Chains A and B, each alone.
Chain A
Amino acid sequence: MASTSEPAGASEDSGASGTSGASVISGASDASGISGASGTAEPAAPVLEVRDLAKHYPLTRGVLVKRRTGAVRAVDTVSFALGRGETLGIVGESGCGKSTVARLLVSLERPTAGTIHYRGEDITRLSGRALRAVRRNIQMVFQDPYTSLNPRMTVGDIIGEPFEIHPEAAPKGDRRRAVQELLEVVGLSPEHINRYPHQFSGGQRQRIGIARGVALRPEVIVADEPVSALDVSVRAQVVNLLESLRDEFGLSYVFIAHDLSVVRHISDRIAVMYLGRITETGTGPEIYGHPTHPYTQALLSAVPVPDPEPREGRERILLTGDVPSPANPPSGCRFRTRCWKARERCAVETPTLTVPPDLPGPAAHPSACHFAEERVVVPAPS
């Protein structure tokens, strides 16, 4: 529905959804493991449609008289669609712009350029009451369960606060019961409604943050590194909770993380970001099993696998150097300064995120590389 209002750019995206649809069939063993809502992962009717999104933060000099000396291009021409009931994973290293995308999606930041369509409406231009109505449906779960909860508020007040802002969601008399129900939904005891955040462990606090996120029964939850601050033994509990909430409430997730293993587990589709741009996107089997962008390949090859066995068969691509500064990104392809395939063309011509023409099967998914080529770096376990 959003695409009807934006006929111009729709072709690229329908191409993307076409390929991911095809490979869901080819990777049938994976799809069969997904239950209920997430199985209908087709981005046919996107809940969110992001087009050419950009966020530049000005760099200024001077204390009294500020002069603009440049801009940090945190996010640059990012486009994607999020289907109903779908989980889109966004991965990338620190500084790649994934958290900025999250903040733009929930309107905590205004984009420099581009649009975000929710139910056919561009939410980047909304304000006041209209913006509030949209925000009710797009909620966020934050990374740090220690700083994202007000230490002076009781758990009941924290989870109930969304109802204060959106009184239409629950009548006043019902709120306490609504909060208790939410506590139960996220696996906490309803009797703990009067406790304070410091009385809970990290995992429990993240459950509180999640309860606040789902309180208004939103359609979309943007989760920015929701489990990376948690201990290993608790992380799986919270991942499972997010998955069961998705199935129960039919939520769509934008799941942002740097942990590629967790992203693979929870996501239907994955977008890899590097220096403010999406470099490759596709389904789990496409991205992890058949990566075609050199950056994705390097990233995957560097992921430590908790198993000494498959190490011998694994290819390690060691990137040299660090990520360049987004204030002064390389021309053309932004990865070229660390890429072993880089040629002259890469410095001149910015590669677009399109399906490379001559790649077969699951390798045929959007990849922003002039020399996209399949290379298996994480062998499937035998």
Chain B
Amino acid sequence: MTRLLDVQDLRVEFRTRDGIAEAVGGVSYGVDAGRTLAVLGESGSGKSVTAQAIMGILDSPPGRVTGGRVLFRGRDLLTMSARERRRIRGAAMAMIFQDALSALNPVLPVGAQLAEMYQVHRGMSGKDARRRAVELMDRVRIPAAGQRAGDYPHQFSGGMRQRIMIAMAMALEPDLIIADEPTTALDVTVQAQVMDLLAELRREYAMGLVLITHDLGVVADVADTIAVMYAGRIVETAPVRDLYRRPAHPYTRGLLDSVPRVNDRGARRNDRGARRNDPGEPAGRGDRARRNRRGHHGGRLYAIKGAPPSPLALPSGCPFHPRCPRAQEICRGERPPLYEVTAAAASPASGGRTSACHFWKDELDGLDV
């Protein structure tokens, strides 16, 4: 079966005054209809640039796709004509941006912006299109949609604006939606509403969803699979449960360990080291205890040392090695390939776990450094 979206070895460069920055250095991921892939990464990891390259909205110049394929239902978007690509982009794939206020047209009522989709792509009359626009606003639960269709974007709250963005992306019932940090600018209570709406629509229309985020919490809620990006590359992909329970890359583990939990003030405190080791977990995990032996003490959070590298000066070998507690000589010299992670503990439905770490086995087993 061909996948809905299949990105293969995508490479993107930016030409800057200071040299060529490799923003995306060979990224492969995919998503099937009705599934959610979360792409997790910090700023500068290349997660948004990858999405822009997939959608064909990369700022170019300075950006340039230098290699790879973006297969949508088996057809390479990168080699087809601009016209053909535009047709697919409008109707079959859509994007939701973080900042709805700057993504919507400020001088046009939201109803008219939604109606435009139907007029341009479906050739509907103005009247029919407006009716559909109101239905759509109703569908994303904007109260009094009929009256509010004449309002301008600035008259809506952040959460409502994001709903309009979702409505716009949904208008032509696309097969694929790419959402780039859709809830980052929202408050937690509103964030929960918007994420629920997105998940509901994805189920209802059996869409594929690529959810780009930096938030480990949001991802855990909705994703089926997670791809973790670092310095323009994927460092780990795994089914959501496996990734949280047994990460196979030191960067993923570091991220998981460095966020405090709302339900546990000191998850990573030394006196509680052993507590979270449920019996179901394989022996030797004990990451909290492990951290403490490494000398993180007295209620401090575990912190990954250093900062993410500049794409203009990526470290040799594994780009994470200067920050990695597990780094050896080989990590400095040899860039790790994406290893297939095959462990008995991987859940049956999982398949396709990968890790770009020479020592993924040790990491997976939680072996001491």
Of B46-54, B96-104, B260-268, which binds chain A? B260-268
A14 at the B interface (CB under 8 A)? no
Within 8 A of B (CB), among A344-380: 378-380
Q: Once the chains bind, are B298 and A305 in contact (CB under 8 Å)?
A: no
How many residues from B make CB contacts under 8 Å with A? 58
Q: Once the chains bind, are A34 and B304 in contact (CB under 8 Å)?
A: no
Residues of A within 8 A of B158 (CB): 94
With both beta carbons as reference points, the residue of chain A lying nearest to B190 in the complex is identified as A322
Residues of B within 8 A of A94 (CB): 158, 187
With both beta carbons as reference points, the residue of chain B lying nearest to A95 in the complex is identified as B187
B216 at the A interface (CB under 8 A)? yes
Q: How far is the CA of A67 from the CA of B223 in the complex (A)?
A: 52
Q: Once the chains bind, are A319 and B189 in contact (CB under 8 Å)?
A: yes
Q: Once the chains bind, are A201 and B307 in contact (CB under 8 Å)?
A: yes
Q: Which 4 A-B pairs have the closest CB atoms?
A: A304-B217, A306-B216, A265-B260, A236-B258
Residues of A within 8 A of B143 (CB): 321
Partner of B43, one of A231, A262, A318: A231
With both beta carbons as reference points, the residue of chain B lying nearest to A304 in the complex is identified as B217
Q: How far is the CA of A33 from the CA of B254 in the complex (A)?
A: 22
With both beta carbons as reference points, the residue of chain B lying nearest to A298 in the complex is identified as B189
Residues of A within 8 A of B278 (CB): 382
Of A47-55, A75-83, A237-245, which binds chain B? A237-245
Least CB distance, A314 to chain B, in whole angstroms = 9
Known contacts: A33-B271, A231-B308, A378-B263. The answer to whether A237 contacts B303 by CB under 8 A is: yes
Within 8 A of A (CB), among B214-250: 214-221, 240-241, 244-245
Residues of A within 8 A of B192 (CB): 302, 304, 316, 318
Q: How far is the CA of A233 from the CA of B307 in the complex (A)?
A: 8
Least CB distance, B331 to chain A, in whole angstroms = 18
Residues of B within 8 A of A321 (CB): 143
Q: Once the chains bind, are A379 and B157 in contact (CB under 8 Å)?
A: no
Least CB distance, B155 to chain A, in whole angstroms = 12
Within 8 A of B (CB), among A116-152: none
Beyond A288-B262, A304-B217, 20 additional contacts (C-beta under 8 Å) are A33-B269, A33-B272, A33-B299, A93-B190, A201-B308, A232-B42, A232-B259, A233-B251, A236-B303, A236-B304, A240-B300, A261-B261, A285-B265, A304-B192, A305-B261, A306-B259, A307-B220, A308-B241, A309-B244, A318-B189
With both beta carbons as reference points, the residue of chain A lying nearest to B269 in the complex is identified as A33
A260 at the B interface (CB under 8 A)? yes
Q: How far is the CA of A262 from the CA of B261 in the complex (A)?
A: 8
Q: What string of 1s and 0s marks CB contacts (under 8 Å) between A219-235 and chain B?
A: 00000000000011111
Q: How far is the CA of A299 from the CA of B240 in the complex (A)?
A: 25
A217 at the B interface (CB under 8 A)? no
Q: Once the chains bind, are A306 and B256 in contact (CB under 8 Å)?
A: yes
Least CB distance, A321 to chain B, in whole angstroms = 8
Q: Once the chains bind, are B263 and A322 in contact (CB under 8 Å)?
A: no
Least CB distance, B54 to chain A, in whole angstroms = 23
Least CB distance, A223 to chain B, in whole angstroms = 16
A303 at the B interface (CB under 8 A)? yes
Q: Once the chains bind, are B220 and A306 in contact (CB under 8 Å)?
A: yes
**A interface residues, Cβ below 8 angstroms from B:** 30, 32-35, 93-94, 201-204, 231-237, 239-240, 243-244, 258, 260-262, 264-265, 284-285, 288, 298-300, 302-311, 316, 318-319, 321-323, 378-382
Q: Once the chains bind, are B302 and A322 in contact (CB under 8 Å)?
A: no
Q: Once the chains bind, are B42 and A311 in contact (CB under 8 Å)?
A: no
Least CB distance, B334 to chain A, in whole angstroms = 23
Least CB distance, B352 to chain A, in whole angstroms = 18
With both beta carbons as reference points, the residue of chain A lying nearest to B217 in the complex is identified as A304
Q: Once the chains bind, are B301 and A265 in contact (CB under 8 Å)?
A: yes
Known contacts: A35-B299, A234-B307. The answer to whether A305 contacts B271 by CB under 8 A is: no
Q: Once the chains bind, are A231 and B42 in contact (CB under 8 Å)?
A: yes
Q: Once the chains bind, are A381 and B244 in contact (CB under 8 Å)?
A: no
Residues of A within 8 A of B254 (CB): 233
Least CB distance, A341 to chain B, in whole angstroms = 16
Residues of A within 8 A of B305 (CB): 237
Q: Once the chains bind, are B191 and A302 in contact (CB under 8 Å)?
A: yes
Residues of B within 8 A of A303 (CB): 188, 217, 262
Least CB distance, A76 to chain B, in whole angstroms = 20
Q: Once the chains bind, are A305 and B189 in contact (CB under 8 Å)?
A: no
Residues of B within 8 A of A244 (CB): 300
With both beta carbons as reference points, the residue of chain B lying nearest to A303 in the complex is identified as B262
With both beta carbons as reference points, the residue of chain B lying nearest to A91 in the complex is identified as B188
Residues of B within 8 A of A310 (CB): 263
Q: How far is the CA of A380 from the CA of B262 in the complex (A)?
A: 9
Q: Once the chains bind, are A258 and B262 in contact (CB under 8 Å)?
A: no
Q: What string of 1s and 0s marks CB contacts (under 8 Å) between B298-328 and chain A?
A: 1111111101100000000000000100000
Q: Once the chains bind, are B217 and A305 in contact (CB under 8 Å)?
A: yes
Least CB distance, B302 to chain A, in whole angstroms = 6
B276 at the A interface (CB under 8 A)? yes
With both beta carbons as reference points, the residue of chain B lying nearest to A338 in the complex is identified as B189
Residues of A within 8 A of B191 (CB): 302, 304
Q: Once the chains bind, are B262 and A204 in contact (CB under 8 Å)?
A: no
A/B interface sample: 11 pairs, CB < 8 A: A33-B266, A35-B299, A93-B190, A202-B307, A231-B42, A264-B262, A265-B301, A298-B189, A300-B262, A306-B220, A308-B241
Least CB distance, A298 to chain B, in whole angstroms = 6
Known contacts: A33-B299, A306-B216. The answer to whether A260 contacts B240 by CB under 8 A is: no
Within 8 A of A (CB), among B176-200: 187-193, 196
Q: Once the chains bind, are A236 and B302 in contact (CB under 8 Å)?
A: yes
Q: How far is the CA of A94 from the CA of B272 in the complex (A)?
A: 34
Partner of A203, one of B221, B271, B307: B307
Known contacts: A32-B271, A34-B299. The answer to whether A232 contacts B214 by CB under 8 A is: yes
B160 at the A interface (CB under 8 A)? yes
Least CB distance, A19 to chain B, in whole angstroms = 19
With both beta carbons as reference points, the residue of chain A lying nearest to B258 in the complex is identified as A236
Q: Once the chains bind, are B188 and A258 in contact (CB under 8 Å)?
A: yes
Q: Once the chains bind, are A381 and B264 in contact (CB under 8 Å)?
A: yes
Q: Once the chains bind, are A30 and B264 in contact (CB under 8 Å)?
A: no
Known contacts: A240-B303, A306-B216, A306-B244. The answer to whether A284 contacts B189 by CB under 8 A is: no
B366 at the A interface (CB under 8 A)? no
